[in-house]
Structure 1
């Protein structure tokens, strides 16, 4: 996963993550796998990355106000990077998930369980520094990410949202391919 650190923003975020003093904090998601896909596609490592996600887990404060304060603190700390940060407390997921996804979600037990719930299995990845070493969390491995294979996450079933993600990714990196069959359009009998 050293390729993800070829993006200077990822490296700076990973290096400075401890300065936020957040419990169970990870750099996660698109900024990591999209950096790898950009490199495989011959692009700049940071090309087209819309935001940089940080997950943390603080069950002691589930307020939206606190999460927004953490976002402001992170944006100020990393303002020199000039990127959009999205910092989310994974201990809060069960509070907003039913409204957003239309179904319940049990309370998560750590930040990595948020990564476990990404819609596309091969994009489920997180990094953090622990005792001076980079720790990788990739519950479905890294092979499919490097091979450009998109597959639904077996732990979540959000068909339309998954389809929209896949379409977005394939539009941006046209060499990505699905491991699952694309849904077929409904056939209409000749009249």
Structure 2
């Protein structure tokens, strides 16, 4: 079982599994050319690729889009982020998927309007990944200039490989977690979805 391997071997296995998704590897390669500060390909395109491979589905099955986070707090204007989005539109032209690029330094400006709870300013792209609604989602990968993969996985990889969806009640509301989990379970019924904790925890940000 991959989740019982030493961590370095788990990381090797993760790269092997993710590399079966040709769209993902192309997104990583093209994203690297944008030279965005602190960037990661993150969220569903990663853990859902693992779920697909583990359950013998096509690697791209059910993946809605490909998310790229970066962190630039030097200019928090929408115009600056939009310029990056437009550059990304050119970089990812021709791919059969939507690639969504977001500056995580700006999230606190719009998060409460969208989700109903305030979001303290993040200090890095990693901090934004820390606050996904499920710990299973807390995974980021980027391609370094020397070709190495940098992997950010603050909660490890065991749940990802074991098809466990675990709540992460630090920021996102319970409703967001449950809606996402229900949608995922429709496509991957093999998932084990853990309940939101019954004891209300104070919604805080751990530096993000």
Residue among 167, 178, 191 paired with 2:193: 178
Q: Does 1:151 align with 2:163?
A: no
Aligned-residue Cα RMSD (Å) equals 1.7
Does the C-alpha gap of structure 1 residues 181 and 51 become closer, same or farther in structure 2, counting only changes over 3 Å? closer
Judge conservation of contact 2:142–2:151 (CA < 8 Å) in 1.
yes
State the TM-score, normalizing by the size of structure 1: 0.90
Superposed displacement of residue 69, structure 1? 2.2
Q: Does 1:161 align with 2:176?
A: yes
User: Which position in structure 2 is the counterpart of 1:65?
Assistant: 79
Superposed displacement of residue 157, structure 1? 4.7
Describe the SS at the equivalent of 2:82.
Answer: helix
Bigger shift: residues 86-95 or 126-135 = 126-135
Judge conservation of contact 2:32–2:142 (CA < 8 Å) in 1.
no
Q: Which has the higher contact order (CA 8 A, sep 6+)?
A: 2
Residue among 39, 44, 50 paired with 2:58: 44
Superposed displacement of residue 125, structure 1? 0.5
Q: Whole-Å Cα distance in 2 between the matches of residues 68 and 83 of structure 1? A: 19
Q: Whole-Å Cα distance in 2 between the matches of residues 37 and 176 of structure 1? A: 9
> If you compute each CA radius of gyration, which structure gives the higher value, 1 or 2?
1
Gaps of 5+ in 1: 184-191
Q: Does 1:106 align with 2:120?
A: yes
Superposed displacement of residue 68, structure 1? 2.2
Aligned residues: 183
Q: Whole-Å Cα distance in 1 between the matches of residues 76 and 89 of structure 2? A: 20
What is the correspondence of 1:1-191 to structure 2 with a 5 Å cutoff? 1-2=14-15, 3-130=17-144, 131-180=146-195
Q: Whole-Å Cα distance in 2 between the matches of residues 109 and 157 of structure 1? A: 17
Q: Whole-Å Cα distance in 1 between the matches of residues 154 and 89 of structure 2? A: 28
Gaps of 5+ in 2: 1-13, 199-208
Judge conservation of contact 1:121–1:154 (CA < 8 Å) in 2.
no
Name segments (4+ residues, structure 1) moved above 2 Å: 154-157, 179-183
